[in-house]
Amino acid sequence: MARIDLEHIRHAYGAKPKSENDYALKEVHHEWNDGGAYALLGPSGCGKTTLLNIISGLINPSEGRILFDGKDVTHLSTQDRNIAQVFQFPVIYDTMTVYDNLAFPLRNRHVPETEVDRRVKEIIEMIGLGGWAGKKAQGLTADQKQKISLGRGLVRSDVSAILFDEPLTVIDPEMKWVLRSQIKRLHKQFGFTMVYVTHDQTEALTFADKVVVMYDGQIVQIGTPAELFERPRHTFVGYFIGSPGMNVLPAKIDGSTATIGGETIALNFRPEIKSGAKTELGIRPEFVSIGREGMPVAISKVEDIGRHKIVRARFADQPISIILDEDGEIPAEPRIAFDQKAINIYADSWRVGGEA
Amino acid sequence: MEKTWNNKAWFMVLPVLVLVAFSAVIPLMTVVNYSVQDTFGNNEFFWAGTDWYVDVLTSDRFWDALTRNLIFSAIILAIEIPLGIIIALNMPKKGLGVPVCLVLMALPLLIPWNVVGTIWQVFGRVDIGLLGRTLEALGINYNYVQNPIDAWVTLIVMDVWHWTSLVVLLCYAGLVSIPDAYYQAAKIDGASRWSVFRYIQLPKMKRVLLIAFLLRFMDSFMIYTEPFVVTGGGPGNSTTFLSIDLVKMAIGQFDLGPAAALSIIYFLIILLLSWIFYTVMTTSDAQS
Ligand SMILES: Nc1ncnc2c1ncn2[C@@H]1O[C@H](COP(=O)(O)OP(=O)(O)OP(=O)(O)O)[C@@H](O)[C@H]1O
Ligand SMILES: [Mg+2]
């Protein structure tokens, strides 16, 4: 129940960062809307956990400010920020029972015992550990421990925000689905701001209103799943979202044409490119068509994955993936064409050009 | 699962058994042998049965020394275990402070017992010792040679100085094995300093604390060198522990029979108490 502003946050774990590479977070300037559900997506080591820890106050950022509802909380302790966080690895209090584990965050805040009991019972049912309330947490399995960890994050209903750091990794797919929809339900009910870290793009895309993609210590794009798919701002987003990812081909740009190898492709806009930049053309496999017209390709492999086929080919000496309908045919001398509307141009990995 | 029995395995442990036999079992059996016989010299022995045991167990000398031992160990444990935990909790977890602290902590452990005794013997002397002179100058009447309380205080302070580090190092090893995520979760959950200790640090230290407790108990119960060097068992008999009494009996008076019987009783007491502590502490662990 708070809007969270991150103002020019940078963070280095070492004491005296010398170069840009010493920063685990390069520069994050972003606003998380009150009550929003965000998925934070990115490869290992890109700084997702670091960012969450900065929001919750476990780490003080080297530079920048954090505001909750406009109030500067940069120097407030975790306790004073009223945030719940579920960690990547399950943390449980071994010597306590399952019930006491879940009650712990409430009792520490002197919530009346009747209220504690009500909340804990609700959560314990939700995470499917109803029969385990009185058991010592010590002997539980990894996924039960993770559920307790998750439960401790959800048991406080009055928090400003809940940060989830890949909370469902060790949980089996069916239970994952159940827990995910339960988290969604709680989010609707209580309206806390929610940030959900995951490696799994389907999880991110189905879960959140907005997906935040991080790469190498930066937020490279924030958008709806459709935006990420159609207009990746960075070649990394192109690769990372979609399966298979976007084809990114080195291209020479001249006015409103792109040249790949010997082939010239007309664009429907004029990219503005600084001289000397490395230029690339990005096209999703879904928007490449195979037929008798267009540019020649050499097919290397066809993977049939049910609803459609993935064609792996070489085009102008570059590997390229093409998605073909289940009943799509590949002619003897195949040629390909790009859907002009779906072409993105990148200069030094960042998308350029207008929407014209 | 079926257990496979392989008798050849016994050959593998045979060398160790032989070694243990020579280093422990045979000397022990020799003592047992002495404890049930009497001699008037000339290497002639007579069967004495349990006479020596009865003698020892009915003597005030034995019970007094045993009481001193128990009180000493109780005081040592009551000081060193909490103190060790407190120091370990306050040691730095990273940075340059870590090696510095570890070396400082290890230093007392590296000094041989008799040297420790000698250091404190000199340190506490009223005529030339720094501690003795300082206390004297402060107007505190301190003399471990004449005052039994002072003698005890000296021995206890010396043992605390010598051995608390061991508890510290063991606890520290337990503490650094706690992943950061636990402390982070505790902060998120709003846990107090005490809760962090009670629910995160103490459970992780439990195993090493058991080891520390047993080691310090056995060691303090068997204390010999330090009182021997510093007080020689005095003033009077006030610091005559079982070990000192034993040596007096065996070497000083050459009463091999009673000394051997005392050795066996001493040994059994340590074994019994260690077993009790171990059982109590591990079963309470299993329950909680
Ligand atoms: N405590 C730390 N001390 C020093 N460097 C750290 C520390 N924690 C993380 N880093 C570094 O900071 C960078 C970002 O780490 P972070 O844990 O935020 O990544 P992540 O996106 O959460 O990765 P993963 O998906 O593997 O959890 C990494 O290069 C990592 O090596
Ligand atoms: Mg992480």
B142-170: per-residue pLDDT in tens? 777 788 888 888 889 889 998 999 999 99
Model pTM score: 0.79
How far does the centroid of ligand 1 lie from the alpha carbon of residue A48, in Å?
Answer: 8
CB of residue A50 inside a 6 A radius of ligand 1: yes
How far does the centroid of ligand 2 lie from the alpha carbon of residue A9, in Å?
Answer: 18
The contact set of B with A (CB < 8 A) is 179, 181-182, 184-185, 187-192, 195, 199-200, 203, 288
For chain B, say whether A60 makes contact (Cβ under 8 Å): no
Note down pLDDT in tens along chain A; length 356 residues. 688 989 888 999 888 878 888 888 888 888 888 888 899 998 888 999 999 999 999 999 998 999 998 888 888 888 888 899 998 888 999 889 999 999 999 999 999 999 999 999 999 988 888 888 888 888 888 888 888 998 998 898 788 899 999 888 878 888 888 888 888 888 888 888 999 998 888 888 877 888 999 998 889 999 988 888 989 999 999 988 888 899 999 999 888 888 988 888 888 888 888 888 899 999 999 999 988 888 988 888 888 888 888 999 998 888 999 998 887 788 888 899 999 889 999 999 999 875 44
CA distances to A160, A170, A311, B189 from B184, rounded to whole Å, are 18, 20, 47, 9
**CATH number assigned to the domain covering A4-230:** 3.40.50.300
- Which ligand minimizes its atom distance to the CA of A198? 1
For chain B, say whether A149 makes contact (Cβ under 8 Å): yes
**Cβ-defined contact of A91 to B185 (cutoff 8 Å):** yes
Contacts of B187 in chain A (CB under 8 A): 57-58, 77-79
Query: Of A325, A259, A261, nearest to A288 (Cα)?
Result: A325
Q: What CATH number does domain A245-351 carry, 3.30.413.10, 2.40.50.140, 3.40.190.10, 3.30.70.100?
A: 2.40.50.140
- In this structure, the residue with its CA closest to atom 6 of ligand 1 is A13
Asked if residue A324 lies in contact with residue A255, where contact means CB atoms within 8 angstroms, the answer is no
CA distance linking residue A287 with residue A304, whole number of Å: 18
- Which ligand minimizes its atom distance to the CA of A40? 1
Distance from CA of B184 to the nearest CA of A (A): 7
**Cβ-defined contact of B179 to A89 (cutoff 8 Å):** yes
pLDDT at A22: 84
Q: How many CA atoms lie within 13 A of B43 on its CB side?
A: 0
**Cβ-defined contact of B199 to A96 (cutoff 8 Å):** yes
- Which ligand minimizes its atom distance to the CA of A45? 1
ipTM of predicted assembly, 2 dp: 0.80
CATH topology of domain B61-254: MetI-like fold (1.10.3720)
- In this structure, the residue with its CA closest to atom 9 of ligand 1 is A50
- Give CA B275 to chain center in angstroms: 15
How far does the centroid of ligand 1 lie from the alpha carbon of residue A50, in Å?
Answer: 6
CA distance linking residue B164 with residue A162, whole number of Å: 44
Q: Which of A60, A86, A87 to mutate to test the interface with B (most CBs of B within 10 A)?
A: A87
Domain map of chain A by residue range? 4-230, 245-351
Which are the contacts of B204, defined by CB distance < 8 A and separation ≥ 6?
Answer: B174, B175, B177, B178
Contacts of A91 in chain B (CB under 8 A): 181-182, 184-185
Q: Compute the mean pLDDT over every residue in chain A, rounded to the nearest whole number.
A: 88
Closest ligand 1 atom number to CA of residue A88 = 27
For chain B, say whether A44 makes contact (Cβ under 8 Å): no
Contacts of B199 in chain A (CB under 8 A): 93, 95-96, 104
